[in-house]
């Protein structure tokens, strides 16, 4: 009686364009990728020494996934996430106030450009009003 082996997993690219290439080429490519991406101290590093087969390619892909999950940064704490949210809310408020200030400034500048009072004030120069010398208090 024959034992039935595992069927290669299609999500790892055994079917289609990847599956059309020879096993030796695909195995060497995935071994080289595992050697690059899996750190030396990772327990899954031993998958590089597996025997050449479709099942070994699947095992190397799985080892790459597990290694990537171990190297992923930890999820931030609730306090840190709350602090980030507060900071982004403060930045949004600051940006809204800057926009409001800019709009108010533009309205004032437009009014200053067209209003006769502002034009009259703009025509005044400091030389028109000499400052009298101060008296000595001695």
The tens place of each residue's pLDDT in the chain, 138 residues long, gives: 444 555 556 555 555 455 567 888 888 999 999 999 888 888 888 888 888 888 888 899 999 999 998 888 888 899 999 999 999 999 999 999 999 999 988 888 887 778 888 778 878 887 887 877 777 776
Alpha carbon dihedral 76, 77, 81, 82, in 10-degree steps, equals -170
In the three-class reduction of DSSP (H, G, I as helix; E, B as strand; rest coil), residue 8 is classed as coil
118/111 Cα distance (integer angstroms): 8
52/36 Cα distance (integer angstroms): 18
In the three-class reduction of DSSP (H, G, I as helix; E, B as strand; rest coil), residue 6 is classed as coil
Instruction: List the one residue out of 30, 35, 42 whose CA is nearest residue 66.
Output: 42
pTM of this prediction exceeds 0.85: no
75/93 Cα distance (integer angstroms): 27
């Amino acid at each position: 009686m024959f034992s039935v082996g595992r069927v290669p997993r299609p999500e790892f690219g055994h079917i289609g364009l990847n599956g059309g290439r020879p096993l030796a080429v695909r195995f060497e490519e995935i071994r080289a990728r595992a050697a690059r991406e899996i750190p030396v101290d990772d327990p899954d590093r031993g998958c590089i020494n597996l025997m050449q087969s479709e099942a070994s390619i699947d095992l190397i892909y799985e080892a790459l996934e597990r290694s990537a999950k171990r190297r992923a940064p930890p999820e931030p704490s609730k306090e840190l996430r709350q602090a980030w949210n507060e900071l982004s809310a403060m930045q949004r408020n600051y940006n809204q106030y800057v926009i409001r200030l800019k709009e108010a400034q533009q309205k004032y500048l437009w009014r200053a450009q067209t209003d006769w009072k502002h034009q009259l004030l703009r025509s005044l120069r400091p030389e028109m009003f000499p400052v009298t010398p101060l008296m000595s208090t001695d």
